[in-house]
Chain A
Amino acid sequence: MNELIYFFNYVVVAGSVTGCIYAIGAVGVTLIYSILRFAHFAHADMMTLGTLAVLLLTLAFPHAGAPLGLPTAIVMLPVAMAFTSLVAVGIDRAFYQPLRSHGVKPIVMVIASLGVTLMLQGLIRLFAGTGSQNLYVDARKEIFRIDVPGVTRPIILTEPQIILFVITIVAVVGLHLFLTRARLGKAMRAMSDNPDLARASGINTKLIITLTWVIAGSLATIAGTLLSLDVAFKPDLSFFLLLPIFAAAIVGGVGHPYGAIAGGFLVGFAETLAVFNWSVLLRPLRDSLPTWLELPNNLALVGTEYKIVVPFFILVAVLIWRPTGIFKGKVI
Chain B
Amino acid sequence: MTAPSSQRPASSATSDRRTLPIRELVLFGGLALVVLAVFATMGPAYSTRMLVEASCYAILALGLTIQWGYAGQFNAGIMGFVALGGFSATFFSIPVNHAFWASDLPGRLGWVLLAMVVVTAIVFAISRLDRIGVPKLLRTTLAIVAGLIGYLVVISWLRSVTGDIESQVEFIGGLGLPVWLGWIVGGALAGGVGYFIGHICLGLRSDYLVIATLGIAEIIKAFLKNSDWLTRGTATISPLPWPVPDPGQVGFLTARSLYLSVTVVMIAVIFFLLHRAYHAPWGRMIRAIRDNEVSAAAMGKSINRRRQEIFVFGCILMGIGGAVLTSFNGLFDPQGYLPLNHTFLVLVMVILGGPGNNLGTLFGAVLVYVIWIMSGPMALAVMHAIVALGAHWFDWQPGNLDSRALQARVFVIGLLILLVLRFAPRGLIPEKVAHHD
Contact = CB atoms under 8 A, between A and B. Distances in A.
Nearest to B153: A296
Contacts of A41: 210
A103 B409 CA distance: 30
Contact of B226 (A104, A114, A243, A303): A303
A138 B415 CA distance: 37
B289 to A, nearest CB: 14
B219 A309 contact: yes
Contacts of A296: 156
A59 interface: no
Interface string B191-210: 00000000011001111101
A90 interface: no
B155 to A, nearest CB: 8
B212 interface: yes
B413 interface: yes
Contacts of A107: 72, 74, 206-207, 210
Interface stretch (A9-17, A118-126, A177-185, A205-213): A118-126
A266 interface: no
A107 B351 CA distance: 13
Given A39-B210, A308-B219, A312-B216, A126 B152 contact: no
Interface residues of A, number: 54
A103 B3 CA distance: 8
A270 to B, nearest CB: 13
Interface string B324-361: 00000000000000011000100100010000000000
Which of A98, A106, A118 has the most B CB atoms < 10 Å from its CB?
Answer: A118
A324 to B, nearest CB: 10
Given A108-B421, A110-B74, A114-B347, A103 B4 contact: yes
B222 A308 contact: yes
Given A119-B411, A123-B411, A298-B159, A243 B218 contact: yes
Contacts of A4: none
A289 interface: no
B44 interface: no
A129 B3 CA distance: 39
Contacts of B339: 239
A117 B413 CA distance: 10
Nearest to B343: A114
Interface in B385-411: 399-400, 403-404, 407-411
Contacts of B237: none
Contacts of A298: 156, 159
Contact of A105 (B2, B156, B418): B2
Contacts of B226: 303, 305-306
B74 A111 contact: yes
B130 to A, nearest CB: 15
Nearest to B403: A130
Nearest to B209: A107
A112 B421 contact: yes
A296 B204 CA distance: 41
Contacts of B211: 39, 243, 246-247, 250, 315
B219 A118 contact: no
A301 interface: yes
A103 B207 CA distance: 17
Interface in A283-332: 296, 298-299, 301, 303, 305-306, 308-309, 311-312, 315-316, 319-320, 323, 331-332
B207 A39 contact: yes
A112 B412 CA distance: 14
B56 interface: no
Interface of A: 38-39, 41, 95, 98-99, 102-108, 110-112, 114-123, 125-126, 129-130, 239, 242-243, 246-247, 250, 296, 298-299, 301, 303, 305-306, 308-309, 311-312, 315-316, 319-320, 323, 331-332
15 contacts: A39-B211, A99-B421, A105-B206, A116-B414, A118-B413, A119-B414, A122-B408, A129-B399, A239-B339, A250-B211, A306-B226, A309-B219, A312-B215, A315-B212, A319-B212
